[in-house]
Amino acid sequence: MNYEELIIFTDGGARGNPGPAGIGAVLYNGKEKVAELSKYLGVATNNQAEYRALIEALKKAKELGAKKLSVFLDSELVVKQLNREYKVKNKDLAPLFLEVYNLSLSFSNIIFTHVYRENNKEADRLANEAMDRRC
């Protein structure tokens, strides 16, 4: 199925920094949930997990044939890096930024927006479930 526009919420987290990490993402077509992701990453930093959550969500959106994306993350750092307000100085984040950039070329329009954690509860829950499962 192809979607004109999807709304995506992503979250990544690590227990310890670095530590056991997980990701969560929810993809919506309007108010209809079309996919959710929850995956344990192994050991990573919080910022690496945030980027990995976004990467997995973008891959899923591409698989679903989306053309336009509105993406909401609770990582202000990642959003500001993606919107070119901050440079990516961390050598471990640079390849993840590049992967997001390359994936973003698959869409006609993509907007990255920072949201507070309380407005990202479902993705946060999925990331925590992944860390709890550790599988």
Q: Tell me the residue range of the domain where 42 lies.
A: 5-129
| Amino acid 1: pLDDT | 81
Compute mean pLDDT per 10 residues along the chain, 135 residues long, and list them.
95 96 98 98 98 98 98 98 98 98 98 97 98 84
Q: Judge whether 45 and 78 are in contact, CB under 8 Å.
A: no
135: in domain? no
Q: pTM higher than 0.95, yes or no?
A: yes
Contacts of 100 (CB under 8 A, 6+ apart): 51, 54, 55, 58, 82
CATH of the domain at 46: 3.30.420.10
| Amino acid 106: pLDDT | 97
| Amino acid 135: pLDDT | 54
101: in domain? yes
Contacts of 91 (CB under 8 A, 6+ apart): none
What is the number of domains present in the chain? 1
